Chain A
Amino acid sequence: MVETHQITAGFMPLLDSAVLVTAKEMGFAEAEGIDLTLVREMSWANIRDRLAVGHFQVAHMLAPMPIACNLGLTPLAVPTVVPMALGQGGNAVTVSNAVWAAMSAHGAEENFDPATTGHALRKVVLERVSQRKPPLRFAVVHPFSGHNYELRYWLAACGIDPARDIEIVIVPPPLMVDALASGTIDGYCVGEPWNTAAALLGRGHIATVKAAIWRSSPEKVLGAGALWAEENPEALSALLRALSNAAKWCGDAINHDDLARILAEKQYVAQPVGWTLPALRGQLPIGGERTVPVSDFFVPFAKGATFPWKSHALWFYSQMVRWAQVQHSADNARIVHETYRPDLYRAALKSLGIALPVANAKVEGALTEATPVGSSGASLVLGPDGFFDGGLFDPDKLDAYIASQKQ
C-alpha cells in the first residue's frame, strides 16, 4: 500500500505556476501518492506568512525570496530551503507606448535585444534630465525578486543608475497593466501573462526579456519549510519527483495548448487563453498580429531548468549586496550557500533516470552556446548562459565580484 502524503502548496496566479498546477491537474502528484492542495494567494507576503504558520508545507516562490528569509531580511520569516527550481526565463520588461516611441527614435528595435534597447532607454533618460522632467518610474513585483535584479542589472549595464536616474517601485502583477495605462508608471519588469497582456491590449510595448538579460536564469523556485523538509524526507522526495515529471510535460510543445487552457482557468491564472499561450510558445506579441520569437523564454525542464544551482543563489545574493539590501559577510554568504539544496534534488530524482548535473555550482556566463556537461542519469546539455553584457560570475570569486560592483 502506498502511503499518502498530504501537501498544501501556495502559489501566485502567474504562468510559472505551471509546474505545480500540472503536477496536480495531470495526475503526477497523485501517481507519487501525494494529495496535493493548491492555494491561490494574492501577495508574496501571504505566501511567506502562511508558510511560516504552517498552512503551507511548500510554495511557489520568487527565487531570491527564500534567501531573504534565511538572511532575516523579511518579517515573519522561517528557515526555508530550495530543493528545486520551477523553471527558467519567463519575465520581460514592458514600457509605455510613449516611452517606446521615444526609445524607437533613439534606435530601439523590435528584437528584445537588451543592449540596443537599453542604450536607447539611456538616451531617453538623459533627454528627460536635460528637459528637467521627473525620472521615469519602473515597477517590479517585489524587492527580493529576479525582476528587481534583472531590471537593475540591465539598466546599470546600459549606463543608467537605477538608484539615481530612475525610480523603482513595487506594484502587484495584476495591477501592472492598469498602472502603465494610467501613467502611474512608465515601465515594469514582471512575469507572464502581464507583458503579453499589455502588448495585446495596446497599452505597452515589450522592450526586452529576462531570457536575454541573464540567459538560462531561474525565476521561481519551490520553497519548503526547512523543518518540514527535514522531518518529511519521503514526502519531499515524492513531491520533487511529481514536479520533475510535471516539468517535463510542461516542456513538451505538444502539451502547450492544453497547458494554456488549464492555466487560464478561474482557480489558476484566471485570464484568457490568448494571454497564456504566447509565452508558452515563446512568441511574444509586439502589437497587432505581430510577434517576435524568443529562444528559451519558457524553459520548465530542458537544460537542467529545475536544478537549484548554488551559483544562482549566490548571484542573487551579490545583487542584494549591490543594491544595499544586505551587508556582505562570510556568514551571510554561507547562509545563502546552504539555502539552495542540490543534494535534496539529486536524492529525490536519482530513481527517475533523468539528467542530474554533477556540479553544484557553475560559472555563470561560461557557456556561450549549448554545451554537453558532466551528468549522471541521462546526458545533459546546458546553456547558453550568462549575462548580455558579457559579464562572468564565478561563485568561487564572490568577494571579488561584489567588490567589482562598487563603482
Chain B
Amino acid sequence: MAAGQKSLSILVIDENRLRASVIETGLREAGYDDLTIVHDVIGIARRIEEIQPDVIMINLENPNRDMLENMFQLSRAVKRPIAMFVDRSDSASIEAAVEAGVSAYVVDGLKRERVKPVLDMAISRFNAFSRMSRELDEARSELEKRKLVERAKGILMSTRGLSEQQAYALLRKTAMSQNRKISEIAESLITAAGLLAPPGEEE
C-alpha cells in the first residue's frame, strides 16, 4: 500500500464463516485492516451506511445480490455511487472473479490499481477455498470407504471364521473378478448382511 494513503475500507458478505475467515486472513496479511465481515444481510443497509465501505464483496451463491444491487442503485444507504468491479475494460479480472464465485462492488472513482490487489486476493482465496473444500470432500469419502471395508472385513471374519488378512484378500479377489472397487463390494456385502441378519441383530 502506498505510504500516506488511507487504507481501503472493505466489507465482505459471506454466509460461509470458514470461507469468510480465509478471506479475512488473506486481506489482513496483505495489510488491509479496515475490514468488516458479515454473515447475513439482515440490517445490511444500516451497516453500509455506518461503514461507508470502498469495496463490497459478496459470493455468487448468495441469493441476495439482486437486493444488494437495488440498494446501491437507490443510493439511500449508500452515499457514494457504487459500480461493479473496477472498470469494464478489465474483462480478464471480471471473468476470473465470476469463475471463482465472487463479485465486487467498488465506489465510483476509486483507482484501478488500488482495488485490483484486493480483488486478486479475494479471487485467489476463493479459489483456494474451493480447492480446500474439494480436498476435504475427497478425504471424507476416502475415510468413509475405509470404514466400509473395515466393517465388511468384520462381517466376513465373524460369519466365515476368516482372519483379517483372509477377509481382506477375499474382498480384493471379488472386486478384481467383478471389475469393481473394494469399497463397492464392501458396501454390497454390508447391505446383504443387513438383509440376512435375524431381526434385532442389524447394526
Q: Tell me the A residues contacting B by CB distance below 8 Å.
A: 42-46, 49-50, 52-55, 74-76, 141-143, 169-172, 174-175
- Chain B residues contacting A53 (CB-CB under 8 Å) are 91, 94-95, 98-99
Q: How many residue pairs between the two chains, A and B, have CB atoms under 8 Å in the bound complex? A: 58
In chain B, positions 170-184 with a C-beta closer than 8 Å to chain A are none
Q: Report which residue of A44, A74, A170 has the largest number of chain B beta carbons within 10 angstroms of its beta carbon.
A: A170
- Are B64 and A172 in contact, with the CB atoms below 8 A? yes
- Are B62 and A43 in contact, with the CB atoms below 8 A? yes
Contacting residue for B98 out of A55, A142, A172, CB 8 A: A55
A contacts with B: majority SS: loop
Question: Smallest Cβ distance from A181 to chain B, in angstroms?
Answer: 15
Question: Smallest Cβ distance from A111 to chain B, in angstroms?
Answer: 32
- Chain A residues contacting B70 (CB-CB under 8 Å) are 142-143, 170
Stretch of B26-34, B48-56, B80-88 at the chain-chain interface: B80-88
Closest 5 CB pairs of A and B: A75-B84, A172-B63, A45-B65, A170-B67, A43-B65
A-B contact pairs, 6 of them (CB 8 A): A42-B61, A43-B62, A54-B95, A75-B84, A76-B94, A174-B63
Apart from A42-B62, A49-B94, A75-B105, 14 more pairs, CB < 8 Å: A43-B60, A45-B65, A45-B66, A45-B103, A49-B98, A50-B98, A53-B94, A55-B98, A76-B88, A142-B70, A170-B70, A171-B67, A172-B63, A175-B63
- Are B60 and A46 in contact, with the CB atoms below 8 A? yes
Question: Smallest Cβ distance from B43 to chain A, in angstroms?
Answer: 11
- Chain A residues contacting B66 (CB-CB under 8 Å) are 43-45, 141-142, 170, 172
Q: B interface, how many residues as a size bin?
A: 20 to 34
The reply to whether the CB of B73 lies closer than 8 angstroms to some CB of chain A is yes
Question: Smallest Cβ distance from A59 to chain B, in angstroms?
Answer: 14
Give the CA-CA distance A52 to B88 in the complex, in Å. Answer: 11
Question: Smallest Cβ distance from B29 to chain A, in angstroms?
Answer: 28
Q: Residue of B at shortest CB range from A172?
A: B63
- Chain A residues contacting B91 (CB-CB under 8 Å) are 53
- Are A43 and B64 in contact, with the CB atoms below 8 A? yes
Question: Smallest Cβ distance from A151 to chain B, in angstroms?
Answer: 14
Given the known interface contacts A169-B67, A172-B66, the answer about A75 and B83 at a Cβ–Cβ threshold of 8 Å is: yes
The reply to whether the CB of B69 lies closer than 8 angstroms to some CB of chain A is yes
Q: Residue of A at shortest CB range from B84?
A: A75
Q: Residue of B at shortest CB range from A175?
A: B63
Give the CA-CA distance A142 to B69 in the complex, in Å. Answer: 9
Question: Smallest Cβ distance from B102 to chain A, in angstroms?
Answer: 11
- Chain B residues contacting A75 (CB-CB under 8 Å) are 69, 83-85, 105
Q: Residue of B at shortest CB range from A184?
A: B42
Give the CA-CA distance A143 to B70 in the complex, in Å. Answer: 7
